[in-house]
Amino acid sequence: MAAQIFSAILVIIIGVGGCVGYFWGANKLLDVIFPSRGVKGGAAIDNLRRQGVIRPWLFIGPALIILTVYLIYPVVQTLILSFHDRGGENFVGVANYSWAFGDREFRNSIFNNLLWLLVVPAACTFLGLVIAVLTDKIWWGTIAKSLIFLPLAISFVGASVIWKFVYEYRGEGQTQIGILNSIVQFFGGSPQVWISLPLWNNFFLMVILIWIQTGFAMVILSSALRGIPEETLEAAVIDGANPFQIFWKIMIPQIWGTIAVVWTTITILVLKVFDIVLTMTNGQWNSQVLANLMFDWMFRGGGDFGRGATIAIIIMLAVLPIMIWNIRQANKETGGH
């Protein structure tokens, strides 16, 4: 263990030192090979120009290499693997895709993912907006926001334990130690094993993600609400608008762009949701989702890389429209820059 801590510290030093060394050394080397100071006229200008051509690549080089190895190459390779068999050796055409759409578990995952996509972003955005508006009006709003924001720092696994405890089930008539069943029993209902109720269990899992992500939506939307010009609100009040009209007709239209950003961000997160399902049900009781199914096939029976890759591609296809939209937005913003 001591060796492990020591090696971690060593790596930090080597890593940071290596980075500093590389950037400093490479720049120094460039200055030595193409000196711009101490040489005369034309040569200095030529060398400055050469420096200008090379230096950006020195700056961006390491990032480019890592991005290529860890993101660009794997994305391409996953696409290729999805047309190959479990070991990745034999080309099988679209066999994996046709398998997927005939597979009961896969279709169940698609259905569940759609449910998640419909419910979670909507719930987070709506709750986030409501809480942002409400907390803006009271003196302890900042504290309230902090507390609602807090789950964002908790890991999905940690959150799963927290909520598993909320959903804990004891037989009927016994003392319930899970708060949900305790409340149900208090009002005369019978306790349930919440995470094994088909279809409904999806919603109990979604609650966890909503609990985590509402704080995110709240913070972003709260800052957008603050950015609304005071005059528009005052004008509405003078014109006799009631609070609901102000909210729906004045505030919402002005933060529409932010709502879209929050919505898409959470949508992407939902498509990748894995930890919650793995730890709560591992896909049992018809609660499977694509990301967990993919992980499952990656290791199931020694790993079926073809099917795993295929499921990854399906997730990617769902993300693709958002990706394209993001790139177009960014291009618009940085257009001439």
Partner 1 sequence: MANPTGKSYLGRFGVHIAVLFFVALWTLPTLGILISSLRDKDQIIVSGWWTSLTSSTQTEAGRLPPPNTAAERDGKFVLEGNLFEVPGSRAITNFGIRAQAPTEFEAGSVADLGDGETMQVNADGGFIMTMPAASDATRGRRVYYAATVPPRFTTENYANVLFSEGIGRSFINSLTVTIPATVIPIMIAAFAAYALAWMRFPGRALLIATIIGLLVVPLQMTLIPLLELYNDVGELFGVPSKTYLGIWLAHTGFGLPFAIYLLRSYMAGLPRELMESARIDGASDFEIFVKIVLPLSFPVLASFAIFQFLWVWNDLLVAMVFLKTDATQLVLTARLNALLGSRGGDWEILTASAFVTIIVPLIVFFSLQRYFVRGLLAGSVKGG
**DSSP 8-state class, residue 84:** B
Of 11 and 33, which has the nearer Cβ to partner 1?
Answer: 11
Interface characters, 176-215, with partner 1 (x: CB under 8 A): xxxx--x----------------------------x--xx
State how far the Cα of 306 lies from the Cα of 81, in Å rounded to an integer.
Answer: 5
Q: Is 34 in the site for partner 1 (CB under 8 A)?
A: no
Task: Check binding of 337 to partner 1 (CB under 8 A).
Answer: yes
Q: Based on CB atoms, which residue is closest to partner 1, 176 or 202?
A: 176
Distance CA 115, CA 146 (A): 29
Q: State yes or no: residue 92 binds partner 1 (CB under 8 A).
A: no
Exactly one of 70, 91, 101, 248 binds partner 1 (CB under 8 A); that residue is 70
Listed residue (124, 294, 299, 143) closest to 221, CA to CA: 124
Binding to partner 1 by residue 33, rule CB under 8 A?
Answer: no
Cα-to-chain-centroid distance, residue 152: 12
Torsion of Cα atoms, 336 then 321 then 267 then 130, to 10°: 60
With contacts defined by CB under 8 A, how many residues of the chain interact with partner 1?
Answer: 120
User: Of residues 236-295, which lie at the interface with partner 1 (CB under 8 A)?
Assistant: 237, 243, 261-262, 264-269, 271-272, 274-275, 278-279, 291, 294-295
* Alpha carbon distance 335, 317 (integer Å): 26
Q: Is 144 in the site for partner 1 (CB under 8 A)?
A: yes
Q: Which residues of 53-85 are buried (b: 16+ CB within 10 A; e: fewer)?
A: ebeeebeeeeeeeeeeeeeeeeeeebeebbbbb
User: Helices 104-135 and 290-299 meet at what angle, rounded to 10?
Assistant: 140
Judge whether 95 and 187 are in contact, CB under 8 Å.
Answer: no
Is residue 72 at the binding interface for partner 1, with CB under 8 A as the rule?
yes
> If binding is defined by CB under 8 A, does position 161 make contact with partner 1?
yes
- Binding to partner 1 by residue 59, rule CB under 8 A? yes
Structure tokens at 197: 């109720």
Q: Which is nearer to partner 1, 100 or 127 (CB)?
A: 127
Residue 309 engages partner 1 in binding (rule: CB under 8 A): yes
Tell me whether residue 67 or residue 114 sits nearer to partner 1 (CB atom). Answer: 67
331 interacts with partner 1 by CB under 8 A: yes
Q: How far is the CB of 249 from partner 1 (least distance, A)?
A: 17
Asked if residue 131 binds partner 1 (CB under 8 A), the reply is yes
Q: Cβ of residue 66: shortest distance to partner 1, in angstroms?
A: 5
219 counts as binding partner 1 under rule CB under 8 A: yes
Q: Which is nearer to partner 1, 202 or 277 (CB)?
A: 277
Chain centre distance of CA 15: 27
3-state helix, strand, coil in the chain (%, to 5): 75, 0, 20
* Residue 332 contacts partner 1 per CB under 8 A: no
* Tokens linked to 70: 């860890």
Question: In this structure, what token pair is assigned to residue 200?
Answer: 């409904």
Site membership for partner 1, residue 35 (CB under 8 A): no
Q: Does 235 bind partner 1 (CB under 8 A)?
A: no
By the rule CB under 8 A, 63 interacts with partner 1: yes
Q: Is 106 in the site for partner 1 (CB under 8 A)?
A: no
Half-sphere exposure of 6 (CA within 13 A, CB side): 3
